[in-house]
Amino acid sequence: MDLKRLKRDVLYTGKVFDLIVDQVEYPSGNKGVREIAHHPGGAVVVPLFENGTVMMVRQLRYPLGVHVLELPAGKLDKGEDPAVAARRELEEETGWLASSLNKLTSIYTTPGFCDEELHIYLATGLHPAEDGHKREEGERSMTIHLLPLSDAVKMAEHGELKDSKTIIGLLLARRYLEREK
């Protein structure tokens, strides 16, 4: 690392992320401050049926004050394997299970101030979970939406979808399927 950390203060420890302020020294000798939103990372799922239909969810995103159409996703528990989290989130949010899970990529969401890394998976061989979905309190208003993957990709290309993990997941799922043909 080009910077030397002189001091670290954890200002807030939250349920979703922690706020950290580092006092740093640059190679020049000048001092500065770096603010970090520390996040444990997450898993994102592109649930794709054999007929080319993708399952998405619409949920309230409180910071924006709007409902957002996006792929199922959730935060990793401490030390959790991202693939395990992807399967858990798929079932929790949609009530579906996948017999196959293929990792498409992982991404840094906002590396200028946040260390969150999301792991994006393509889920196929979908079948309903015996007990349905297991949504948390804040997810109860979530709704499921089924779209042809091609339509979802067009929505991403035309700016109708604004969630970055969803756009990346859809585009890479399409690319994966094209390579598999």
The CA-atom distances, in angstroms, between 95 and each of 10, 22, 109, 134 are 37, 42, 26, 7
**CB-based contact 58:69 (threshold 8 Å):** yes
Residue 160 is a catalytic residue: no
3-state secondary structure 52-107: CEEEEEEEEECCCCEEEEECCEEECCCCCCHHHHHHHHHHHHHCEEEEEEEEEEEE
Alpha carbons 124 and 100: distance in angstroms, whole number: 5
Q: Which residues of 133-167 are buried (b: 16+ CB within 10 A; e: fewer)?
A: bebeeebeebeeeebebeebbebbeeeebebebbb
Catalytic residue among 130, 137, 178, 180: 137
Q: Annotated catalytic sites, by residue?
A: 137
